[in-house]
């Protein structure tokens, strides 16, 4: 069983044995573009509990996502995939019914999700769509965005699958749907009335219900979507450092975006997560100790000492030290300044 202490949950056994299911984000957690994240395939295939995938990437239908995972060596079925395109299509149906027309600004995944709900798609603002729905697509063009702008300026409602500003790719961080939404919003003065994907908690609850999970952990790489949404859904939330968020981002995170667990990569699903507890003037985790002293955040482990706050050379610490450092930083009554790179020894 997962012990739900603060500031982090803990378990003496491997994490995957302390929950009844795992919900994975995809981009930056399982793969980057066409390539698997290191150790992800082996870690997922070793799971003995149900698992599924919740993604804000609306560009592909679930069947295509499952095929991609299968190509990477992960046995995945279409029904295990939950996308923000599906969430957006459900939102359109529940809000407006099916007797409307929709202009989809996005890829095949969005169009497929909308048509599966019985919604009628149009391809031009000249068809007077009732709603514009915008989702991620690597082939999005100026003409696509322009049709959305024209339709919104003529009175169409505006929804988005998600508002992620970036997305991990094999070449680095690329623009996400939120960046393209900003372009449309800047041209129209209209922001989407709602985004259906993460961090909306309903997408996590729906995915867990589909897989009959009651005590699942969500694994993601973004604090503002994966972690925030999972926490709002009442689920355990593990941040992995293989995608968007860095160790420094974690230290600086807002209270409602702080994970309940942290791992370096998906191998940490198969490892114990030691308790972080208050000790003297600081916090301890395993053999690591962290404290705020004279306005500086310091960690001590293996008889070595490092300062994480302020500026300076990159620092390498253990995952336990990061856990303790987060507890010390989050509980400090002083505002800390950070300007250095933190590496985690794996």
At residue 50, the pLDDT reads 96
Contact between 79 and 210 under an 8 Å Cβ cutoff? The reply is: yes
At residue 346 the predicted structure's pLDDT band, cuts being 50, 70 and 90, is low
Tally of CB atoms within 10 A around 242: 20
* Local confidence band at 249 (pLDDT 50, 70, 90 cut-offs): very high
CB 45 within 8 A of CB 61: no
157-168: per-residue pLDDT in tens? 999 999 999 988
Average pLDDT for 215-230:
97
> How many CA atoms are closer than 13 Å to the CA of 117, on its beta-carbon side?
26
Q: How confident is the model at residue 255 (pLDDT cuts 50, 70, 90)?
A: very high
The 10s digit of each residue's pLDDT in 292-340 is: 988 899 999 988 999 999 888 999 999 999 999 999 999 997 788 888 8
CA pair distance 176, 164, nearest whole angstrom:
5
Task: Answer for the pair 342, 331: CB distance below 8 angstroms, yes or no.
Answer: no
Structure tokens at 152: 């919104």
84-188 folds as Rossmann fold (3.40.50)
| Of residues 333 and 113, more confidently modeled | 113
Determine contact, residues 297/324, Cβ cutoff 8 Å: no
Question: What pLDDT is attached to residue 343?
Answer: 95
Average pLDDT over residues 126-143: 96
Q: Where in the chain is the domain with CATH 3.40.50.1000?
A: 15-56+216-270, 84-188
Q: Provide the 8-state DSSP code for 223.
A: I
Q: Taking Cα atoms as reference points, which of 272, 268, 319 lies closest to residue 40?
A: 268
Residue pair 203/228 in contact (Cβ under 8 Å)? The answer is no
Q: Between the CA atoms of 254, 202, 4 and 6, what dihedral angle is there, to the nearest 10 degrees?
A: 10
State the pairing for strand pair 120-122/304-307: unpaired
Question: What pLDDT does 144 receive?
Answer: 97
Which residues are the active-site residues? Answer: 25, 27
**Tens-digit pLDDT profile for residues 177-214:** 999 999 999 999 999 999 999 999 999 999 999 999 99
Cβ pair 196, 159 in contact under 8 A: yes
What pLDDT does residue 334 have?
76
Q: Classify domain 15-56+216-270 at the CATH superfamily level.
A: HAD superfamily/HAD-like (3.40.50.1000)
CA distances (Å), 30 to each of 1, 58, 111, 150, 178, in order? 25, 16, 24, 37, 21
Structure tokens of 133? 């729905």
What per-residue confidence (pLDDT) applies to 85? 97
Distance CA 150, CA 168 (A): 30
Distance of CA 167 to the CA centre of its chain: 10
Please, are residues 235 and 19 in contact by the beta-carbon 8 Å criterion? Answer: no
Percent with pLDDT over 70 in the chain:
100
> Chain-wide mean pLDDT for the chain?
95
pLDDT of residue 335: 82
Record the pTM.
0.92
Q: Element (H or E) spanning 322, and its range?
A: helix 319-331
For range 13-37, the mean pLDDT: 96
Give yes or no for residue 1 having a pLDDT over 90: no
Q: Given this model, what pLDDT does residue 168 score? A: 83
């Amino acid at each position: 069983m997962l012990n739900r202490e603060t500031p982090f949950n803990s378990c003496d056994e491997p994490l995957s044995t302390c929950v009844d299911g795992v919900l994975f984000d995809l981009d930056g957690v399982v793969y980057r573009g066409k390539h698997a994240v290191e150790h992800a395939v082996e870690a997922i295939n070793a799971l003995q509990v149900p698992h599924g995938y919740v993604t804000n990437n609306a560009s592909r239908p679930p069947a295509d996502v499952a095929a991609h995972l299968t190509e990477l060596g992960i046995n995945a079925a279409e029904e295990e995939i939950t996308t923000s395109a599906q969430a957006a299509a459900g939102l359109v149906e529940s809000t407006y019914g099916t007797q409307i027309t929709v202009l989809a600004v996005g890829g095949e995944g969005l169009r497929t999700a909308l048509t599966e709900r019985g919604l009628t798609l149009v391809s031009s603002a000249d068809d007077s769509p009732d709603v514009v729905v915008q989702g991620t697509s690597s082939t999005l063009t100026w003409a696509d965005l322009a049709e959305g702008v024209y339709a919104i300026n003529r009175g169409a409602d505006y929804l988005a699958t998600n508002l992620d500003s970036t997305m991990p790719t094999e070449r680095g961080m690329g623009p996400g749907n939120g960046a393209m939404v900003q372009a449309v919003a800047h041209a129209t003065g209209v922001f989407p009335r709602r985004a259906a994907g993460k961090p909306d908690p309903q997408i996590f609850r729906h995915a867990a219900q589909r897989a009959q999970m009651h005590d699942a952990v969500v694994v993601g790489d973004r604090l503002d979507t994966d972690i925030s949404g999972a926490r709002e859904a009442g689920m355990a939330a593990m941040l992995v450092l293989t995608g968007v968020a860095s160790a420094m981002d974690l230290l600086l995170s807002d209270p409602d975006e702080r994970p309940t667990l942290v791992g370096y990569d998906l191998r940490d699903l198969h490892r114990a997560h030691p308790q972080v507890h208050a000790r003297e003037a600081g916090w301890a985790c395993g053999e690591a100790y962290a404290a705020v002293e004279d306005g500086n955040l310091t960690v001590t482990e293996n008889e070595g000492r490092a300062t994480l706050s302020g500026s300076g050379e990159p620092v390498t610490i253990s995952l336990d030290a990061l856990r303790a450092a987060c507890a010390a930083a989050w509980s400090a009554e002083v505002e800390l300044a950070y300007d250095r790179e933190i590496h985690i020894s794996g």
